[in-house]
Amino acid sequence: MRQVELGNTGIKVSRLVFGCWGITNDFQWKDRKEEESLGAIDAALELGVQFFDTAEMYADGDSEELLGRALKGRRDQAVIASKVRPENMHPEKVIEACENSLKRLQTDYLDLYQTHWFMDRDIPVEDSWAAMIQLKEQGKVRSIGVCNAGVQDLSTLDASEIPVSNQLPYNLLWRAIETAIVLASTERNMGILVYSPLMHGLLAGNYNSASDVPDPRARTRHFSDSRSLARHGEAGHEELTFKTLAAIQSIADDLGRPMADVALGWLDAQEGVTGIIAGARTRKQLERNIAGLEQSLPNDVIEKLNEATQELKNTLGPNPDMWQGDAGSRYY
């Protein structure tokens, strides 16, 4: 597995990042067996995927605890990233949250510590960030980054220490960050860490129609607000989403490759992308994700995929928040 530098930190990370949101039971992913997740983490290290991304918010800390147990005795083989939850953005809580994450992960440092969302606008972004810098100065974290940070948030941090990375939602069905945030991040020499690369299984060909998608995975603005867990207040674009999926599938069929491979290959070719975060339940899924990044797509195929997804990109608009409509967008 290829390794790249995380921002300008000198920290070498695998291009594929093992996403740890789904390694424990969670409303989004439902039941997960611990032995299965431990086996997938073992396989990741064996196959050269040594960058693990978790958060205190994932299953209320259970994800961090499981990852800590999995890496016990071999911490030096892994690069660990975690995040402070939105409710803990007060400076004092940022410090406490990091210390709690360290305990759950059974380590005395994090390679990357990130803000998860800047949601509480009563707490100045610069105050939360000052606490992140303090953690770095104390040696509890090696580098600091942001997640879901918009152009205004990044501008606010310019007077301080620039984050090494910005973790953002990005895939063939969700290209909103191309409007402004990609440029705002790359011009600051920040690496972009991509989450939801397979759009919750849609780009893996797991569903034939919108009605097949379970409600926990149908919360995004692609789907009707009538779905029980949706909160974006929009009509959704279910027909166009599945029309676009069919077009992507056709391109993949012409190549003789799985749609998931093509979706990952497209991301691998995008400007500014440092790491692609994807979960895996099994070794087989992990090997499939690796394969998707090891076979580059020809430029003409990249162009075909851009064209096939342009209408959906335009229809969804520039709001980068997958779960909230324009009025409630958490990006600034």
User: Using an 8 Å Cβ cutoff, are 40 and 286 in contact?
Assistant: yes
Cα 309-220-245 angle, rounded to 5 deg: 30
Cα dihedral 75, 52, 64, 93 in deg (nearest 10):
100
Relative to beta strand 191-195, strand 273-278 is parallel
Q: Which of 58, 113, 170, 331 does the annotation list as catalytic?
A: 58
> By three-state DSSP, how is residue 162 classified?
coil
User: Using an 8 Å Cβ cutoff, are 16 and 285 in contact?
Assistant: no
Q: Which residues contact 242 (CB under 8 A, 6 or more apart)?
A: 209, 210
Indicate the helix (H) or strand (E) that contains 81.
Answer: strand 79-84
User: Using an 8 Å Cβ cutoff, are 170 and 273 in contact?
Assistant: yes
The rounded radius of gyration (Å) of the Cα atoms in the chain is 19
User: Using an 8 Å Cβ cutoff, are 29 and 286 in contact?
Assistant: no
Confirm whether 331 is a catalytic residue.
no
User: Using an 8 Å Cβ cutoff, are 16 and 276 in contact?
Assistant: yes
What gap in Å lies between CA 146 and CA 159, rounded to an integer?
15
The one-letter amino acid code at 223 reads: F
User: Using an 8 Å Cβ cutoff, are 113 and 84 in contact?
Assistant: yes
Q: Taking Cα atoms as reference points, which of 212, 209, 262, 244 lies closest to residue 316?
A: 244
**Catalytic residues, which ones?**
58
